[in-house]
Structure 1
Amino acid sequence: MSPRWGIVATIKAPAEEILRFAAYHLEAGAHRLFIYLDAPNPAAQTALENHPKCRVTLCDTAHWQALIGKPPVKHQSRQTLNATHAYGRAGDVDWLAHIDVDEFLVSDRPVADHLADVPAQVETARARPMEMLGGDGTAFKRFIPNGPARERIVNAVYPTFGEYIKGGFLSHLAGKVFVRTGMDGITIRIHNAFRGSDMIEGTQELSELRLAHAHAKSWKDWQAAYRFRLEKGSYRAELGPAKPRVRGGLTLNEFFAILEAEEGETGLRAFYDEVCADTPDHRARLAAHDLLHRADLRLSTHLATHFPDWAG
């Protein structure tokens, strides 16, 4: 029998975006979705509650009171607590993955088939990311494995800004993990799982299962999230540089501060156009290094299939 799998996500987004995310993964074969609403969203909550495979939790005062007494300030902490809470409720699935509302599992074969191939003694399995180009949502840049060729390739694809972006990505390279259920003392964090204070090692790489990350769907979308990411998200100050400091490495936070100070919005737009925008030139540069991936997520189609009463 194929393994059953589920997803947990803590989400603050418009209702339709939440339901598109849910519908996509239901179509992909998820047996259970644990959706934690980080802010009230009555329309999404009602639609999710009416679907038999969705379990929705509103993260209100009562929820946090029951878990730890008060709401954590950092959204990363809220995500970790909710993912771990869901793991304790996930008795009807064999694997649970912790992903975000702008991430979509993409594969040419069922997700369950990938998980069925994981050796019995392996407790976690990792899907590496690919980043969506800002355009019609059908073009992605593939993950470049760590190694001596990565920096050379990134600088060839991004001749102006490559030295500031690790692996050619604006967001994470770690991907997200599936965790076998039924284990004791497990904490699920953003990119890894822990038993007690020790990170679970020996993670299986799911090389043909990709995590499509819609990090910058358009210039407008990227700008809307930019300040938050600088202050609290994936560009925040405490994250490390793309290359070592001794070789002149800067964090994204430092790089963007310099770029804005010297060139303002014009500089940010030039960065977006080279690194994020879906243009023929960008596609050609990626294709030259076998880094261009094409996929139609068909989000509207899946939304209509799984939430047919959704009127927007």
Structure 2
Amino acid sequence: MSKSWSVVSTIDEPKPLVLAFVSYYLALGAEEVHIYLDRASEETRDIQEILHTRSEVSCTICDEAYWQQNAAKQPAHIPRRQRINATNAYRVTKSDWLLHCDADEYLGKVEAVLAALETIDSENDYVLVPVAERVRTEEDDPSALFSEFFRRPVSRAHHDQTIALYEPYGEMLQNNVAGHTLGKSFYRTGRSMTVGVHTLNEAGVTGRVGARLNFQALFHVDDLTERSFIKKLQQRIVRGHGPEKTQAPARKAQLQFVKDHMGAPETLSAFYRGLKKITPDQAQTLHDNGWLMRYEIDPLPSIAQYFPEARVALTVDEFDSLLELT
């Protein structure tokens, strides 16, 4: 019998993305989907009501009462909140494995992933799924929220090559990607552990043994729209988590650029395109080096299947209009 698996995510996103995430993972075969909504509002209460129409879904609103019960008060840093929430889900899940990822991260190649999990030695507490990051190309439908080209992180040996490829924004990428390079993990259940954001060996946790898949199967769509990508960086700065509080050089450079050009929308638009939209020449170089892959992520049919009453288009205009309300 194949091992069962579930997924957990802490989310602060508009309703269409929450429904996309939940329905996508239900369609993949997740036994349970555990959602922690990162703030209390009329919208999150509406989302919770919709999600609870599905018996496979647990949805918790992380309001003041929740944090009083779990951490005395809401932790200031998102990773801390994510670890608490994921560990709570870990303690109650009935599945053999629990995947912890973000709302903009979509598991792919699920048959290969599950087959690999079957072969993992019992000494391994977690299995890291390597990431690929979505990029926009000239082939994309510019109105669609999701598209199908992803770039792979590369080794540091190719640092100079990737810096040159993305000039003048090359220093704002780490190993060919704008976001994280690690991936996210499945955690073997039934053990005493605090679930990590990426792996168990973080935030002072040591001594845990993990395995790593040898292929990319987590597809990171961190730039759902140009506006959402820039807004998230701006929010980090406004909330006191700007370049001064950031260690990673590429992310630090991104935040510094956004901070320096807060009032220059055209400059920020060029910054987004330089990081996230590749030219035909760049696409050819990535392809020739094996750094570009194609994988379709389309949650819309799953939303129609699991939440047929929902009116969701998954378009750029729809998503951007909802950002104005958050």
| TM-score, normalised relative to structure 1 | 0.86
Tell me what 1:170 maps to.
178
Q: For the residues of structure 1 that align with 2:241 and 2:134, how far apart are their CA atoms?
A: 16
1:116 is displaced (CA, Å) by 1.2
Quote how far apart the aligned CAs of 1:305 are.
1.4
Q: Do residues 140 (structure 1) and 149 (structure 2) align? A: yes
> What does 1:278-297 align with in structure 2 at a 5 Å threshold?
279-297=279-297
Alignment match of 2:53 (pick from 40, 45, 50): 50
Q: For residues 25 and 240 of structure 2, what CA distance do their matches in structure 1 show?
A: 25
Q: Compute the displacement of 1:120 (Å).
A: 2.1
Q: Secondary structure at 2:245's aligned position in 1?
A: coil
Q: Which secondary structure state, in structure 1, belongs to the residue aligned with residue 190 of structure 2?
A: coil
- Corresponding residue SS for 2:212: strand
Pair 1:195–1:295, CA change in 2 (3 A): closer
Q: Are 1:68 and 2:68 an aligned pair?
A: no
Q: Comparing 136-145 with 233-242, which one deviates more in the overlay? A: 233-242
| Stretch deviating more after TM superposition (79-88 or 136-145) | 136-145
Shift of 1:195: 10
Q: Which residue pairs with 1:205 in the alignment?
A: 212
Structure 2: how far apart are the matches of 1:123 and 1:160?
A: 41
- Contact preservation (8 Å) 2:151, 2:176: no
Please report how far the alpha carbon of residue 236 of structure 1 lies from its aligned counterpart in structure 2 after TM superposition: 4.5
CA distance in 2, matches of 1:61, 1:242: 34
Q: Which residue of 1 aligns with 2:103?
A: 101
Tell me the distance in 1 between the aligned counterparts of 2:156 and 2:150: 18
In structure 2, the residue matched to 1:130 is: 132
Aligned-pair distance for 1:110? 5.1
Residues 109-159 of structure 1 deviation map (CA, whole Å, 9 limit, x = unaligned): 3542231122222111111221112454323333234342x3034124313
Q: 1:128 to 1:108 in 2, by over 3 A?
A: same
> Following TM superposition, by how much is the alpha carbon of 1:161 offset from its aligned partner in structure 2, in angstroms?
1.8
Change (3 A) 1:37 1:142: same
Using the alignment, how far apart are the partners of 1:193 and 1:128 within structure 2?
15
Secondary structure of the structure 2 residue equivalent to 1:6: strand
Q: Aligned pair 1:214/2:221, yes or no? A: yes
* Deviation of the 1:207 alpha carbon: 2.4
Question: Any runs of at least 4 consecutive aligned residues in structure 1 with deviations exceeding 6 A, and if so which?
Answer: none
CA shift for structure 1 position 169: 1.5
Matched to 2:196, the amino acid is R
What code does the residue aligned with 2:126 have?
A: T
RMSD: 2.8
Identity %: 26
TM-score (norm 2): 0.82
In the alignment, which of 180, 197, 220 is matched to residue 188 of structure 2?
180
1:246 aligned residue: none
C-alpha distance in 2 between matches for 1:75 and 1:173: 18
* Superposed counterparts of 1:113-124, under 5 Å: 113-124=115-126
The worse-fitting range, judged by mean Cα deviation, of 173-182 and 224-233 is 224-233
- CA deviation string 1:246-277 (max 9, x = no partner): xxx9643335445x39x944443333222202
Pair 165,114 (structure 1): closer, same or farther in 2 beyond 3 Å: same
Task: Give the direction of change, closer, same or farther, for the CA distance of 1:32–1:251 in structure 2 (3 Å limit).
Answer: same
SS of residue matched to 2:155: coil
Alignment coverage as a number of residue pairs: 302
Report the Cα distance in structure 2 between the residues aligned to 1:287 and 1:233, rounded to whole angstroms.
38
Aligned counterpart, 1:9? 9
Q: What stretches of structure 1 of length at least 5 have no aligned partner?
A: 244-248
Amino acid at match of 2:174: K
Partner of 2:28: 28
CA 231–193 in structure 1, closer or farther in 2 if over 3 Å, else same: farther
8 Å Cα contact 1:124-1:200 kept in structure 2: no
One of 230, 246, 260 as aligned partner of 1:223:
230
Q: Structure 1 39/22 Cα, relative in aligned 2: closer, same or farther at 3 Å?
A: same
